[in-house]
Amino acid sequence: MPSKPDSITMDAVYTAPGYLFRRMQQIAVAIFVEECRAFDLTPVQYAALVSIHTHPGIDATRLSAVIAFDRSTLGNVIERLESKAFIERKPGREDKRVKLLYLTKAGVATLREIMPSVENAQARMLQPLKAADRKVLLALMTQLVDLNNEASRVPLRAEDALEHLGKST
């Protein structure tokens, strides 16, 4: 309980949950990039690819809700994926504002090829822990992220993914 600055130590940083989350995120990205450096895909770009593969013809706004990425950020991500020829943007027929997203053949192929490396990376992040602890940590993180969903600037809305189908129902 350091309340006066005179009593501030580095523990005010090191033991803060926010610092641990930041640090672990940095480590997770470093591991992902290292395992996947052959594929020219970042973690964010990978998540976007998976989502577009799962929801072909989704638009950028819905995609941002499905992976909880900021809409502005996602615009740049989509641009890069398009310039790498992993995805295509096609104008919507009903709604002239939207641009529908689809994987290209190269995108599908890359996704198939990168999968084992991604799984290696995800495993490596938790490897230092005992198997039982890994499960506990994953369960608690899943719970915490879910319960804090609304505190996020861009809450996850997985259901939004279905809106681009059967809109006329």
Is 169 buried (19+), middle (13-18) or exposed (0-12) by CB count in 10 A?
exposed
Q: Looking only at residues 53 through 72 of this chain, which bind DNA when binding is defined by CB under 7 A?
A: 59-62, 69-72
Out of 145, 159, 162, 165, name the contact with a second copy by CB under 8 A.
Answer: 145
* Element containing residue 90 per DSSP (H, E): strand 87-91
Q: Say whether residue 163 binds a second copy (CB under 8 A).
A: no
Out of 96, 105, 131, 169, name the contact with DNA by CB under 7 A.
Answer: 96
Out of 23, 37, 71, 90, name the contact with a second copy by CB under 8 A.
Answer: 23
Please tell me what DSSP assigns to residue 148: T
Q: Say whether residue 131 binds a second copy (CB under 8 A).
A: no
Report the SS3 class of residue 100.
strand
Contacts of 168 (CB under 8 A, 6+ apart): none
Q: What is the Cα–Cα distance from 48 to 155, expressed in whole angstroms?
A: 16
Which residues of this chain interact with a second copy, rule CB under 8 A?
A: 2-5, 8-10, 12-32, 43, 47, 50-51, 53-54, 66-68, 108, 111-112, 115-116, 118, 121-122, 124-126, 128-129, 133, 136-138, 140-145, 147-148, 151-154, 156, 158, 161
